[in-house]
C-alpha cells in the first residue's frame, strides 16, 4: 500500500503504518481523553485522561494487529506467503501472495481473525472484572472499552459481504458447495455490495437525523466496501477468463533483439523510424540481458545518441524479476499491475522464453469473457 512506513517485523512479516493511521490514532486518542473517559469517570485530571486515551488507542491498534496476524499465521500454515500487514484508516489488512487454493483453507484463514478478536474481547473483559473487584476505575474503563470494541470488531467482520472476513467465510462455503471459485466470488462480492449500500443508506439516515458524525463514518465505510467488492469481482472475472493459461503459453518475442553495444542513433534509424519498433530485447553474446523502450530512448538528449549504447539505458532483467513459464497468466497479470510494468520476461529455469505483455493479457481476458470462456 502506497504511503506506508515499515515499523517492525513479526514472524518474518513486515508491519507497516499507512499515513492515514496517524490521523485516526490522534482522533481516537482525543475522543477518548476529552469525551469518553471524562463522561464515564469524572473528576480525574486531564493528564490521567490523556494517558488512558493513549494506552487505550495503542491497545486498540494492537488488537487490530493481532486480528491480522491471526489471518497471516493460518495463511502461512497453508504455505501461503504473507507479504506484509498494513495498519490504516479502516483498521488493518494482511497482504498475501495468493488466494487459498481450496475452500477449507479459505474458511480457516478468514475465521481466524474474528476468533482472535473474540478471544481479545474475553481477555479485556477479564481486565474489566479485575478492575471492578479492585475498584480501579481506569482499568475498568479501559477494559470495558477494549472488550466492547473487540467484540464489535469480530461481529462487524463477520458480516457476510466480501471482502470482510464474513464474506470470505461465505465465499468458502459457496465454493465448497458449487466447486466453482468464480461463482463463489461473484456471490460474495454481490453480497458485499448489498451490505455496502445498506451501510451508505443507514449513514444517510443517521446524518439527516442529527447523528452526522456516525452517519458520515458509516457511509464512508460503505463506500470503501463497495469499491473493494467491485474490484474483487473484476479480478475474479479476469482470473476466470485466464484460467488454464500459463505465462509461457502467452510469451512472445514482442521486442526486437539488439546487441547491447548498439548506439541509440542506429537503433532509432534502423528500427524505430523504419518499422516503428518501440521495444528492444538487449543482448550480450546472444544472451538476453534486459529491455529498452522508446520512453527510455526519449529520456536521452539527442546529441548523446551517437555515443550512448543501448545497454546504458536498458532495464536489466534482474530488476524486472522474470516470471517462470509454468506460473499462471493471471499471476503474471497481477505482477505487472502491482509493479506497474507493461512487459514481463518469461523464463523456463534460466532459459529465456519470451515476453508477456499486460495489454495482451487484458485484451485476451476481455475476449474470452465476452464469449463465455
DSSP string of 5-32, one letter each residue: EEEEEETTEEEEEEHHHHHHHHHHHHHI
The top-scoring range by mean pLDDT among 145-149, 223-227, 354-358 is 145-149
pLDDT at 372 over 60: no
Measure the CA–CA gap between 250 and 103, rounded to whole angstroms. Answer: 29
Q: Are 281 and 310 in contact (CB under 8 A)?
A: no
Q: CA 275: distance to chain centroid?
A: 40
Distances (CA, A) of 82 to 76, 111, 149, 164: 7, 17, 26, 18
| pLDDT for 253 | 61
Q: Which of the four pLDDT bands, split at 50, 70 and 90, describes residue 72? A: very high
46-77 vs 137-157: helix crossing angle, rounded to 10: 40
pLDDT at 86 over 90: no
Q: Which residue has the cell 545518441?
A: 305
pLDDT at 17 over 50: yes
pLDDT at 3 over 60: yes
Q: Which of the four pLDDT bands, split at 50, 70 and 90, describes residue 113? A: very high
Choose among 114, 77, 99, 87: nearest CA to 188. Answer: 99
- Provide the terminal-to-terminal Cα distance of the chain, rounded to the nearest Å: 32
Q: Which of the four pLDDT bands, split at 50, 70 and 90, describes residue 373? A: very low
- What predicted TM-score, i.e. pTM, was given to this entire model? 0.72
Q: For Cα atoms 92, 196, 80, give the angle at the middle one, nearest 5 degrees.
A: 40
| 2 DSSP assignment | T
| Mean pLDDT in residue range 361-371 | 75
pLDDT at 121 over 90: yes
| Mean pLDDT in residue range 322-351 | 78
pLDDT at 330 over 50: yes
pLDDT at 87 over 80: yes
Measure the CA–CA gap between 1 and 99, rounded to whole angstroms. Answer: 18
| pLDDT for 115 | 96
Measure the CA–CA gap between 278 and 297, rounded to whole angstroms. Answer: 9
| pLDDT for 36 | 83
| pLDDT for 206 | 86
pLDDT at 77 over 70: yes
| pLDDT for 12 | 87
Amino acid at each position: 500500500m502506497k504511503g506506508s512506513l515499515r515499523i517492525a517485523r513479526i514472524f518474518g512479516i513486515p508491519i507497516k503504518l499507512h499515513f492515514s493511521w496517524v490521523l485516526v490514532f490522534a482522533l481516537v486518542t482525543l475522543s477518548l481523553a476529552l469525551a469518553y473517559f471524562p463522561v464515564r469517570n469524572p473528576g480525574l485530571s486531564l493528564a490521567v485522561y490523556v494517558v488512558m486515551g493513549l494506552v487505550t488507542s495503542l491497545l486498540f491498534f494492537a488488537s487490530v494487529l493481532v486480528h491480522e496476524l491471526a489471518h497471516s499465521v493460518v495463511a502461512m500454515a497453508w504455505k501461503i506467503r504473507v507479504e506484509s500487514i498494513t495498519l490504516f484508516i479502516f483498521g488493518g489488512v494482511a497482504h498475501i501472495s495468493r488466494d487459498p487454493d481450496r475452500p477449507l483453507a479459505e474458511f480457516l484463514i478468514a475465521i481466524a481473525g474474528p476468533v482472535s478478536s473474540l478471544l481479545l474481547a474475553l481477555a479485556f473483559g477479564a481486565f474489566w472484572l479485575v478492575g471492578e473487584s479492585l475498584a480501579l476505575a481506569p482499568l475498568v474503563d479501559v477494559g470495558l472499552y477494549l472488550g466492547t470494541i473487540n467484540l464489535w470488531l469480530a461481529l462487524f467482520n463477520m458480516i457476510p459481504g466480501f471482502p470482510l472476513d464474513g464474506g470470505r467465510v461465505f465465499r468458502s462455503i459457496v465454493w465448497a458447495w458449487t466447486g466453482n471459485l468464480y461463482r463463489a466470488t461473484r456471490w460474495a462480492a454481490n453480497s458485499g455490495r448489498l451490505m455496502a449500500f445498506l451501510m451508505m443508506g443507514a449513514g444517510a439516515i443517521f446524518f439527516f437525523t442529527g447523528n452526522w458524525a456516525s452517519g458520515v463514518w458509516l457511509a464512508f465505510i460503505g463506500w470503501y466496501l463497495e469499491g473493494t467488492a467491485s474490484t474483487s469481482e473484476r479480478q475474479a472475472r479476469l482470473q476466470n477468463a485466464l484460467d488454464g493459461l500459463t505465462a509461457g503459453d502467452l510469451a512472445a518475442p514482442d521486442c526486437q533483439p539488439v546487441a547491447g553495444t548498439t548506439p541509440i542513433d542506429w537503433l532509432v534509424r534502423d528500427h524505430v523510424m523504419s518499422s516503428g519498433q518501440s521495444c528492444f530485447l538487449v543482448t550480450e553474446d546472444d544472451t538476453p540481458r534486459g529491455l529498452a523502450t522508446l520512453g527510455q530512448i526519449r529520456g536521452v538528449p539527442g546529441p548523446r545518441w551517437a555515443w550512448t549504447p543501448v545497454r546504458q539505458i536498458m532495464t536489466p532483467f534482474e530488476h524486472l524479476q522474470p516470471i517462470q513459464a509454468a506460473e499462471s497468466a493471471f499471476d503474471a497479470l497481477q505482477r505487472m499491475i502491482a509493479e506497474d510494468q507493461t512487459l514481463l520476461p518469461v523464463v523456463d529455469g534460466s532459459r529465456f522464453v519470451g515476453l508477456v505483455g499486460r495489454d495482451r493479457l487484458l485484451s485476451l481476458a476481455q475476449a474470452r469473457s465476452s464469449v463465455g470462456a
